[in-house]
Structure 1
C-alpha cells in the first residue's frame, strides 16, 4: 500500500478522512464545491508564479508509474540539476526509514521542489533539500509535518538527512525554514498513528467540525451518521477538547449532558464557570427543541430595542484580494413602514474607496439609527477602511458607536435548538429563507472571482441578492430576539 504526503495532511485535519479515502466507496463522495475549486485554482496560480522565477526540470515518466518516476528523478539528481519540480521518491516495503521499517507499505514522496545544495550525498559533492509551495500565509503544523515526510524519504534515498526544509508561502514570497530535527520525530509519530488507523477494521468516530469538514468530500456521509447518532459534536460549543473531557466522565448523549450539574464540568480542561452552565443549557435547548434564557444573560437594559429607523449592514469580501467589494445596507423605517435596500458595489479593486464613501454618506443620513450587523467582521472592516482611506475620526467614531452586533447579543442571552450559531442556521430555524437556496459566502467568493474573469453581470446580481437576504435575515433575527426577551421577562414578572 502507498502512503503519500496527502494522507498525512488530511490525517492531521481529520483522522476519519484518510481511512475513508482508502477504504470508502468513492460513489459516496460529494462533488467539489465552488470554494474548494477556487482554492485549488489559487494554489495552482501561486505555484506557477513561483515556478516561473526558477529554472526547473521535471522528471518525464508514464502517468502513475512511480518506479519510472523515481528512476527519472534519480537521473536528474545524479546530473546535479539545480531545481527538480515534482520529483518522485520511493521508500519500498521493508526499507529502513531512520531505522524504522514500514513493512507492507511504500512511502511515496512528491515534493514541489528538490533544491540542490552543497554537501555530501550518494550523488557527489551536493545534496538536495525539499521545498513545498503552500497557499497559506503562515507555516501551519500540517505543512511542516508534510515537508518533514518529504525530507525523511529523501534522506533514505540520498543517504543524508537535511537539517532544514523550506515552505514557500503566500506571504510576499517569504521562504520559511522548517527545523527538521524537531519535525521529523513528530511526523514519524503521526505516521505511525495513521498506519494504526488505516489498519483498523472500522473508521474513527465521526466528529463534525464545521470549518474543517465543509470542504471535505465525505461531509454528507459523516454528517448523516452524526445526525443519526445525535452526536454531541453537532451541539454548538462542543469542541474536540471538550468532547474528549465529556467522554472521560461518561457523558456521551444530549440527555446525559442536559442533566449534568455544571459544577462537575467547571474544572475540566476546556471548561470554566462560564462555559459549563452555558453548554448544559445548550444541551437542554436542543433536547427540548425550544429557546432558553442563559443562566447569566445580558441585563435587559443592554438588549437591543426597536428604533424608529434601523439600518442592517452586511459586507461581501474577496479575501485573496483583500477587497471589500459590496457594502449592503437595509434601511427599515418603522415610522413610514418602508424598507429600502442599498447595494454599494465595487466592480473592481479601484472602486472600493468609492463604495466606502457611499456607505458613509448613507449612514449619515440617519444619524440616530442603530446599525445592526451579525458578527464582528463589519465593525472591524469599517475601522480598517477608515484607516485605509484616511477618513476623519470625527466622521467614523459616531458611526461605530451605533453598531450593534446581533450575534453577540443573541449568544450572550439565549440558547437555541440549532447546530450552529451562523446566521443561516438561526434565520432558517426562524423560518427565513434565502431566495437562492444554495447561495452562501463561499459561493459569493467564487462568483466574484468568476465575474472578474468572465464579466458576466448575472454573477454580480446573484451576489447582491444574497447580500440583501443576509441583511434581511439579520433583521429577522434581531426582531425575534427583542420580542423573545421581552416576552420571557414579562412572563417572569407576571
Structure 2
C-alpha cells in the first residue's frame, strides 16, 4: 500500500504555487553564482537591449557532448531506466512523482521542485535504494549527476546537494549522499549531503539578495562574464577603468592593488611612472594605463621596437584538431598551414584528414626552402608544439621540421611592451584591431574551425573549408599589420 498519495507529493513540490507565477532558482546556476555573480544580477536587472547571445559553434558542440556522454552512460549502466519524456513543466513533475510512487529502479531526467523555497530543476538520475524507508515506502531515492568533466567541481557538488535537498523534502528522507559521475574514464565522486547543505543554503540566500536588488555585484574582470552578458559587463569594466584591463593582471592582483588605494587606470597614471615602479616593482602597469588614456600604443621614453629580422620574413599560423572524433579522425593533428609575406601575399595548405598531414607539411617545407635565413614569425610558440607533434607522428619529416622550428620567432614577445598597447591581453585578436586590422567572420575562431573542418571531411563541401582558410589567412595578415604599425611607430617616434 502506498504510504503517500500523488496529490500530497504534488502539494509538497508546488506549495500551491504555479511554476509560471515565479522564476525559481535553477541548480545549474551554481556555476554562475560561484564564478560570476554579476551574471545573475544581469539576468534580473540589466537592460534587455544589452543582452547579446555569443554562444559559439564550439560552445554548442561542448554542450551536446555532455548530452552524448550522459546518454551513453545511462544506456550502459541503466538500460532499463524509466525516462521522463516531458522536457519541463507540471507534466514532467507529475510523471516523476508517479514513477517514484511506483518504485521505478532508476528514473532518468526526473523533475524536482520546491516552489515554496523558489527552486526547481531536473536531476540526471534518481536511483532507488532499498536500504532505508521513506514516505514512498520501504525504499528511498538518491541522486546521481552525470558530468562531462575530468574533475568534480564545487558547482557540481552544490547542484547534487540541491537535488538531494529537494528530493528529501518530497520523499520525507534526506539522502545521505549523492554521486557525481565524471567523464568517461574519470570515475566518480561521492558528495556527502550534510557537508554541503549549509553552503547550498548560503548560495541560495545570495541568489535571493541579488534577485531582489539587495546585493549588486560588479563584473569581476574583463571578459570574465559569459554570454549573453559579456559585452555589457565589458562596457562597465571599461567605463570604470578597471585594473583588470591591464594585461597579465589577474583578479587577485587587482584586489591587492585596490587595497593599496590604486582603484583604476586613472589612479595609475596620476601616480606616475617612478611611483608606480616603486609601488608595484615595475612600470609596465603605468605605461599600459597611459596607453589606455591616450587610446593608442605608447613607447617607453626613448625606447624603440626591437623585432628580430633576417633576410626573409614569413608570418606563419597553423590550424589543428585538438581531439579525436572516431572513426573519422583517430588522433589530434594539424590540418592547415598559412603564411604571408610582408607584402601581404599569402598561401594556405590544407590536409584532407590525418593521413594527408605529411603531404601538407612537405609542401609547406618545400615552399619555405632553406629556413636558416628566415624569420618565421608566429604569435606565441604554439606552432613549435605543433611541429613537435608532427615530427613525432611522421618521423620521416623530423629533421626538416626541427630545422624549420629553429627559425620561429614569437612576434608577440617581440612587440610586447615595445610599444605598450591599450589591451587586456596580448592575444592577436586584441592587438591587431588596435593596428586597424579586422577579421571578416565573427562566427569562426580557432575552436569552431575544428568543427567546420570535421564537417568538411564528412560532407566534402569546399565552401566549409574555405571559411577556415579565410580565417587562417586573416590570422597571418593580422601579424603583418601589427608588424607594419609597430615598425612605423618606432621609426616616427621622438625621444
Asked whether the two chains share a fold, i.e. TM above 0.5, the reply is: yes
Q: Please point out which of 283, 302, 305 is paired with 2:308.
A: 305
Answer whether contact 2:371 2:407 (CA < 8 A) is retained. Answer: no
2:46 paired with 1:37: no
**Cα gap change, 1:60/1:457 in structure 2, threshold over 3 Å: closer, same or farther?**
closer
Residue of structure 1 equivalent to 2:98: 75
Residue of structure 1 equivalent to 2:295: 289
2:251 paired with 1:245: no
Q: Which moved more, 1:180-189 or 1:49-58?
A: 180-189
- Give per-residue Cα distances to partners, 1:397-440, cap 9 Å, x unaligned: 33322211111232254311234422122112112233446643
Answer whether contact 1:151 1:165 (CA < 8 A) is retained. Answer: no
Residue of structure 2 equivalent to 1:478: 483
Residue of structure 2 equivalent to 1:398: 403
Residue of structure 2 equivalent to 1:433: 438
Q: Which moved more, 1:433-442 or 1:253-262?
A: 433-442
Answer whether contact 1:233 1:239 (CA < 8 A) is retained. Answer: yes
Answer whether contact 1:148 1:165 (CA < 8 A) is retained. Answer: no
Q: Distance in 2 between matches of 1:114 and 1:356?
A: 52
- Give per-residue Cα distances to partners, 1:79-128, cap 9 Å, x unaligned: 443332110122342xxxxxxxxxxx322131212233453241455543
Q: Distance in 1 between matches of 2:149 and 2:360?
A: 29
Answer whether contact 2:269 2:290 (CA < 8 A) is retained. Answer: yes
Residue of structure 1 equivalent to 2:380: 375
Cα offset for 1:372?
Answer: 1.0
Q: Distance in 2 between matches of 1:354 and 1:151?
A: 56
SS in 2 for 1:414: coil
2:456 paired with 1:451: yes
SS in 2 for 1:329: strand
Unaligned ranges ≥5, structure 1: 94-104
Residue of structure 1 equivalent to 2:41: 19
Cα offset for 1:29?
Answer: 2.3
RMSD: 3.5
Answer whether contact 2:340 2:480 (CA < 8 A) is retained. Answer: no
**Cα gap change, 1:354/1:121 in structure 2, threshold over 3 Å: closer, same or farther?**
farther
TM-score, structure 1 as length reference: 0.80
2:335 paired with 1:330: no
Answer whether contact 1:323 1:352 (CA < 8 A) is retained. Answer: no
**Cα gap change, 1:40/1:61 in structure 2, threshold over 3 Å: closer, same or farther?**
closer
Answer whether contact 1:309 1:331 (CA < 8 A) is retained. Answer: no
2:198 paired with 1:193: no
Unaligned ranges ≥5, structure 2: 1-21, 325-330
Q: How many residues align?
A: 461
Answer whether contact 1:327 1:359 (CA < 8 A) is retained. Answer: no
Q: Distance in 2 between matches of 1:47 and 1:360?
A: 44
Cα offset for 1:196?
Answer: 2.2
2:131 paired with 1:115: no
**Cα gap change, 1:161/1:427 in structure 2, threshold over 3 Å: closer, same or farther?**
same
Residue of structure 1 equivalent to 2:318: 315
Q: Distance in 2 between matches of 1:141 and 1:439?
A: 32
Cα offset for 1:75?
Answer: 3.1
Q: Distance in 2 between matches of 1:13 and 1:57?
A: 34
Answer whether contact 1:235 1:283 (CA < 8 A) is retained. Answer: yes
Cα offset for 1:330?
Answer: 1.7
Residue of structure 2 equivalent to 1:59: 84
Cα offset for 1:374?
Answer: 0.6
Q: Please point out which of 77, 80, 86 is paired with 2:109.
A: 86
TM-score, structure 2 as length reference: 0.80
Q: Distance in 1 between matches of 2:414 and 2:157?
A: 39
Q: Distance in 2 between matches of 1:432 and 1:401?
A: 29
SS in 2 for 1:8: helix
**Cα gap change, 1:343/1:323 in structure 2, threshold over 3 Å: closer, same or farther?**
farther
Residue of structure 2 equivalent to 1:273: 281
Q: Please point out which of 28, 31, 54 is paired with 1:6.
A: 28
Q: Distance in 2 between matches of 1:331 and 1:248?
A: 47
**Cα gap change, 1:142/1:347 in structure 2, threshold over 3 Å: closer, same or farther?**
farther
SS in 1 for 2:123: coil
- Give per-residue Cα distances to partners, 1:331-364, cap 9 Å, x unaligned: 53x7xxx665332213334434443444444445
Answer whether contact 2:453 2:465 (CA < 8 A) is retained. Answer: yes
Q: Distance in 2 between matches of 1:385 and 1:59?
A: 47
SS in 2 for 1:344: strand
